[in-house]
Amino acid sequence: MTWLFKIILAICIVPSAVLLLILGFPKNPETRKMIFGVRDNPKFHEGNAAKRVKEIADSCRKSALIITCIICIATVILVFLPSTNVTMLAFILLVFALFLVFIPFGKGNTELKNLKKELGITKSGTVYADLKNTSIIHALKMPWLILPNCIALLETVFAILVDFGVIRIVDTLAIEKYGLTMTSASFLFVAIILVPIALMMDNTRNTVISKDSNVNANYNRAKKKCWADLFVAMSWANALVIGILVTLYMFFFNDIAVLAGALAYMAVIMVIVVISVKLQISIEKRYERDTDLELLDDDDCWILGMFYYNPNDTRLNVEKRFGYGGTVNIAHPAGKVIMILTVILLVASIGFIIWAAATGNLDKLNVNSPF
Amino acid sequence: MIIRIDEYSDVPIYMQIRNQIVMGISSGELKGGEQLPTVRALALEIGINTMTVSKTYQLLKQEGYIMTDRKNGARVRDNIAQSGVISEENKTELKRIVSEARISGVSKTELKKLIDEFY
């Protein structure tokens, strides 16, 4: 385990923590459609209620800010500490510590739900469907998503051939370590995972905001276009990074080049996500004045504002209320399986890291691979 | 056309969809020959079981408002049979509405005005 690995982990942890803080705890939550996963209500903006909402938002934001600062400072400190088994364990566990930001979010969600009860905001069970737009609003152009994945696949195949010594352009470094294959395959895996997620987001249920079908169609098309562009851009970024890594590895491989590559990749991903979030916010603002229907109040189906559990809803995928993207309906049979697998994966990962640290294997990880 | 489903209503969901499609045809929002969404698409859109939507479409077909075939899916009928009579079921429903209006103190003129507005 080298300083390079630690710096790359730090590059992943710090921006992710900051992004989680920005997405989950905006400075003016009252201007958003959702406040801590609770749908905004006109009563939230009146007199004492507005004051309470502000207090809750400020208190939760402060807690989240403290958690984010601790994570970021701990990350920076650990980068400079010598790589002992314990420091490395602490470092990797910091990745999972990012989930701590969910605690103030859940707290804010619970407090706002209580406030709703106090204000006597009753649950509205009205669902709207636009007959003219049902299942015809899509924005994802599959070739644009498949093409970068095909390129990434070809690059990975090339990387395998280089690692196995089938292709020898120059006297490459550390070919026997299979580092290039592992790195390329990891990025390819991420790119492939994006395909079903992109399809899922493109097939999410249309939101009916107006009595005018054209407004609904334009609103949903704009939102889905934003999603589609995000996934296409991320897929191209993945294909590009594999290409750059293969080139770097074969011709100019050194620690600084790899570090610069990792930094550039994280920067590109962050820029893509930030642009996409900004676009989504501007779409919401643009269509706010066209909204003339009261949307379904399903806040109670959102456990802590993060987990969707609605046995009366047959949909599997829904738009998230924390962060950015989609999530699954845990009440759906497939949703249950996905959630159980996710929990198993998380617990297994933490268990494996602790086991590796306890048996002293953590610092024996391959240090010569680019990542 | 926008369909509004009230999850807490006493009226079953399949009947709520049926009623609104009938109102849509009557108001001209749904024109003759207009394509209706597939059973699966509409069920996904509302978040209900496909059997519920299927039941609605079967009922509408049975009543002669829509036609369905494997190739084209469900469409609003171009020429809906006009019997010129109100069904016994509707008469009972109308009687209930008139009775409730009378109890609430709604005048006959106001009621007629409403009928004129909706007709």
Cα–Cα distance measured from residue B5 to residue B12, given in angstroms and rounded to the nearest whole number:
10
Give me the helix-helix angle, A85-97 and A333-358, nearest 10°: 160
Q: State which amino acid sits at residue A259.
A: L
Measure B119 CA to nearest chain A CA, in Å: 21
Residue A206 lies in a domain: yes
Helix (H, G, I), strand (E, B) or coil at A126: strand
Interior angle at CA A80, CA A76 and CA A83, nearest 5? 115
Residue A208 lies in a domain: yes
Name the helix (H) or strand (E) containing A159.
Answer: helix A142-163
* CB atoms inside a 10 Å sphere around CB A367: 14
- A367: confidence class by pLDDT, cuts 50, 70, 90: very low
B13-76: CATH class: mainly alpha
Count of domains forming chain A:
1
Name which residue leads in pLDDT, B57 or A346. B57
Predicted local distance difference test score (pLDDT) of residue A175: 47
- Is 70 exceeded by the pLDDT of residue A364? no
Helix (H, G, I), strand (E, B) or coil at A319: strand
Beta bridge partners of A126: B6
Cα–Cα distance measured from residue A36 to residue A17, given in angstroms and rounded to the nearest whole number:
17
Residues with Cβ < 8 Å from A149, sequence gap 6 or more? Answer: A188, A191, A192, A195, A235, A239
The predicted-structure confidence for A236-294, as pLDDT tens digits, reads as follows 999 998 888 888 777 766 667 677 777 788 888 888 988 998 898 899 888 888 888 77
Half-sphere exposure of A21 (CA within 13 A, CB side): 19
Q: Which of B46, B65, B66, B75 is the mutation pick for testing A, counting most A CBs within 10 A?
A: B46
Q: CB-CB: which of B4, B30, B41 is closest to A134?
A: B41
Predicted local distance difference test score (pLDDT) of residue B60: 94
What is the domain range of residue A153? 132-293
Q: Which two tokens stand for residue A193?
A: 């995972």
Residue A189 lies in a domain: yes
Q: Which two tokens stand for residue B50?
A: 């496909």
Q: Is the CB of residue B38 less than 8 Å from the CB of residue B68?
A: no
Beta bridge partners of B2: A130
**Are B49 and A314 in contact (CB < 8 Å)?**
yes
Residue A262 lies in a domain: yes
- Is 60 exceeded by the pLDDT of residue A363? no
Query: Which chain A residues are closer than 8 Å to B48 by Cβ?
Result: 314
**Are B2 and A314 in contact (CB < 8 Å)?**
no
Name which residue leads in pLDDT, B23 or A181. B23
Average pLDDT over residues A294-301: 80
Q: Enumerate residues 199 to 238 of chain A having a beta carbon within 8 A of any beta carbon in chain B.
A: 205-206, 208, 211, 213
Q: Tokens 């306890």 appear where?
A: A358
- A371: confidence class by pLDDT, cuts 50, 70, 90: very low
Cα–Cα distance measured from residue A351 to residue B40, given in angstroms and rounded to the nearest whole number:
42
Query: Which chain B residues are closer than 8 Å to A127 by Cβ?
Result: 4-5, 7, 46-47
- Quote the distance between the C-alpha of residue A175 and its chain's center: 33
Query: Which chain A residues are closer than 8 Å to B7 by Cβ?
Result: 125-127, 312
Predicted local distance difference test score (pLDDT) of residue A366: 45
Beta bridge partners of A29: none
Measure A312 CA to nearest chain B CA, in Å: 7
Measure A142 CA to nearest chain B CA, in Å: 20
Helix (H, G, I), strand (E, B) or coil at A58: helix
Predicted local distance difference test score (pLDDT) of residue A270: 84
Give me the helix-helix angle, B50-62 and B13-27, nearest 10°: 50
pLDDT mean across residues, chain A: 83
Interface residues of chain B, partner chain A, Cβ below 8 Å: 1-8, 21, 24, 30, 36-38, 41-50
Cα–Cα distance measured from residue A25 to residue A9, given in angstroms and rounded to the nearest whole number:
24
Name which residue leads in pLDDT, B76 or A121. B76
Instruction: Show me where the domains of chain B are located.
Output: 13-76, 88-118
Cα–Cα distance measured from residue A205 to residue B4, given in angstroms and rounded to the nearest whole number:
15
- Is 70 exceeded by the pLDDT of residue A103? yes
Cα–Cα distance measured from residue A56 to residue A118, given in angstroms and rounded to the nearest whole number:
15
Where in chain A does DSSP place strands (E)?
34-35, 38-39, 126-130, 302-303, 307-308, 317-319, 326-328
> Is A254 within 8 Å of chain B by CB?
no
Name which residue leads in pLDDT, A355 or A130. A130
| Residue spans of alpha helices (H) in A297-360 | 333-358
Q: Is the CB of residue B75 less than 8 Å from the CB of residue B33?
A: yes
The predicted-structure confidence for B66-90, as pLDDT tens digits, reads as follows 998 888 789 999 887 777 788 888 8
**Are B41 and A135 in contact (CB < 8 Å)?**
yes
The predicted-structure confidence for A167-199, as pLDDT tens digits, reads as follows 776 655 544 467 778 878 888 888 898 898 899
